[in-house]
A and B are shown apart, each in its own frame.
Chain A
Amino acid sequence: TQLLEQSPQFLSIQEGENLTVYCNSSSVFSSLQWYRQEPGEGPVLLVTVVTGGEVKKLKRLTFQFGDARKDSSLHITAAQTGDTGLYLCAGARGSGTYKYIFGTGTRLKVLA
């Protein structure tokens, strides 16, 4: 059973377009992380959200944690080719835990 469902699985867009990817669960998480992974490399942490309804911005990336802490979204404004990669969300079930459950990811390709 996959606790974290990410959608879409694949996304191909033109440079300059906006996009949103989603991370959904029926479980409540104490915190949620977003990672970006490039081919041949390990995941790199982008952000951690811990409060229901929390919004965090990282340049052109906007992350939101759902009010009920069961879901999250990542919005990218004016996508660039450098945004290409696999975006993973990961949720923690207990407070202060190391044990994050990862979704299977959204594979994004931004075309020039």
Chain B
Amino acid sequence: DAGVIQSPRHEVTEMGQEVTLRCKPISGHNSLFWYRQTMMRGLELLIYFNNNVPIDDSGMPEDRFSAKMPNASFSTLKIQPSEPRDSAVYFCASSSSENQPQHFGDGTRLSIL
């Protein structure tokens, strides 16, 4: 079975540009999570969706960040405008329900110049 699929794997762009990260969760999973990983802060939860509805966005750093889940098989995380401090690896994870083990994608390595 395919795991969580993220695209792109790498993104390099200039500050001020809009960045869109994409995630396809495991089929049948109804919980989806976006995380950010940096050396300084480790892995941090940004937002959690359940049945396509945002449940907890308390980890979203600021208004420049937004996330959507238009259907059960697709989610996006958008940064507009991007800043150098947004450089990190962004992970998407999904689980069959809120309290079940989360399966992570391989991440998107984002570099903002």
* A residues in contact (CB < 8 Å) with B: 2, 40-45, 48, 88, 90, 96-100, 102-105
Contacts and interface: CB of A to CB of B under 8 A. Distances in A.
A98 B106 contact: no
Given A42-B107, A43-B104, A98 B48 contact: yes
Interface in B83-98: 91, 93, 95, 98
SS class, residues of chain B in contact with chain A:
strand
Contacts, number: 45
A58 B109 CA distance: 31
B106 A41 contact: yes
Given A44-B104, A102-B44, 20 more contacts: A2-B42, A40-B107, A41-B107, A42-B4, A42-B91, A43-B91, A88-B42, A90-B43, A97-B99, A98-B48, A98-B95, A98-B98, A98-B99, A99-B45, A99-B48, A99-B56, A100-B45, A102-B42, A104-B39, A105-B42
Q: How large is the interface on B (under 10, 10 to 19, 20 to 34, 35 or more residues)?
A: 20 to 34
A103 B104 contact: no
Nearest to A42: B104
A88 B43 CA distance: 9
A22 to B, nearest CB: 16
B42 A42 contact: no
A97 B39 CA distance: 25
Given A41-B106, A42-B93, A42-B107, A103 B101 contact: no
Looking at chain A's contact residues, the main secondary structure is loop
A98 to B, nearest CB: 5
Interface of B: 4, 31, 33, 39, 41-45, 48, 56, 91, 93, 95, 98-99, 101-102, 104-107
Contacts of A103: 42
A97 B66 CA distance: 23
5 contacts: A2-B42, A42-B104, A42-B107, A45-B102, A102-B43
Contacts of B107: 40-42
Contacts of B41: 104
A51 to B, nearest CB: 16
